[in-house]
Amino acid sequence: MSILDLLRLDGKVAVVTGSGQGIGRAIAWGLADAGADVVINARRVQDLEMTAGGITERGRRALIVDGDIRDFSEHLADRAMTEFGRLDIWVNNVGGSDEKTVRTLVDTPDEIFRSQLELNLTSAFQGCKAAACRMGAGGAIVNITSGAGTRGSPRTGPYAAAKAGLINLTQTLALELAEQGIRVNCVSPGPVVTEAYREILGISDQIAELVSTIPLGRAGTPDDIAAMVVFLCSPASSWITGEHHLVAGGRTQRSYQYRPAAAPADGENP
């Protein structure tokens, strides 16, 4: 078997939450490219239909399960088992904010803080549980988190706190599930300029200013993130678990000066 063969996912079944567009769609398509059948989830059916079309074009099966992921993971996992008979990969990609207003932590209403934790941390916790109870040895869970969870994040504190919790949840689960042969890792995307991200940043000169903070000199693409996720789900990474992988073109918390921005877009992880 060659090294390239270790990147194949033939016969595997994956679930990708938040896969209607952007990074989630690219992850679903990347897993399909590697040979996996993919269960996709988001709130908008029209977006999921486009993602499903790309999966079938790649010769793999797609299952659309639309709905808000909060308190929905058990149903999603059951659908995967019913339709495909197994579950090997789970990617918690849902994230962002339903609230587009930014504010300091002390000005944040309790209900907004709870909502951010529910969307960005609790839903991933539920997904990990649903997946781990159905996976066998060789299973892989990947949580999409954010560099905001590794540093102070003025005016997006609830989001950052949730993502920090998700990094720790990943590390803890990796230790607890290792005896079952299930690996758990997380990925933090750097600036990936999807359509949703452009809506947040606004005009193009702000994007140019953002790119100037990236050592490799360009913004990321959804495929940059998908490539890392495919690797972490494949046998090629069979000796990697409990790790936080920053995919950001060399941009770290030390390499740029924080400037308060708008709230993270649904499904995006700036």
Compute CA 163 distance to the chain's CA centroid, rounded to the nearest angstrom.
11
Q: DSSP character for 265? A: P
* Euclidean distance between CA atoms 217 and 211, whole angstroms: 6
* Euclidean distance between CA atoms 9 and 103, whole angstroms: 43
- The interaxial angle of helices 123-132 and 73-84, nearest 10 deg, is 30
Give the helix, strand, coil percentages of the chain, each rounded to 5. 45, 15, 40
Report CA Rg, the chain. 17
Question: 79 pairs with which residues across the strands?
Answer: none
The question of whether 197 is a catalytic residue gets the answer no
Q: Which of 159, 197, 256, 258 is catalytic?
A: 159
Going along the chain, which residue ranges are E strands?
A: 13-17, 37-41, 62-64, 89-92, 140-144, 183-189, 244-247
Four-residue CA torsion sign, 211, 216, 220, 221: positive
Tokens of 163: 């993502």
Active site residues: 159
